[in-house]
Amino acid sequence: MGYAGPDGKVTLFVLLPYDEQPATHGNGTQVMFYAKDRVAVDAFHAKALELGGRDEGAPGPRSYHPDYYGAYVRDPDGNKLNVSVDLSGR
């Protein structure tokens, strides 16, 4: 489920755990952010690791969407964070 911001773009997603197990701080909790470009995705990922986060997927394209460029980290509490940019400009 996504929530649209004032510009009509979805800015917040609420997702169920992919593995259908109960949601916990480390399973099913994912905060997603949109970035303005690849540089911002790369910077987010680098800063998260610098501040104690754990890599869950280095910045790069993903096979599940041709215009997707994103990165994943776990924060020190185990929450999954994602930042991405839509390369199509939509």
Domain boundaries, the chain: 2-17+27-86
* pLDDT tens-digit readout, 47-81: 999 999 999 999 999 988 889 999 999 988 788 89
CATH of domain 2-17+27-86: 3.10.180.10
Tell me what the mean pLDDT of segment 10-26 comes to: 67
- E strand or H helix at 89: none
Q: Using alpha carbons only, how large is the chain's radius of gyration in Å?
A: 13
**pLDDT at position 28:** 62
**H-only helix segments in 7-86:** 38-50
Q: Which has more confidence, 43 or 14?
A: 43
Task: Report percent pLDDT > 90 for the chain.
Answer: 40
Rounded CA-CA distance 28/17 in Å is: 4
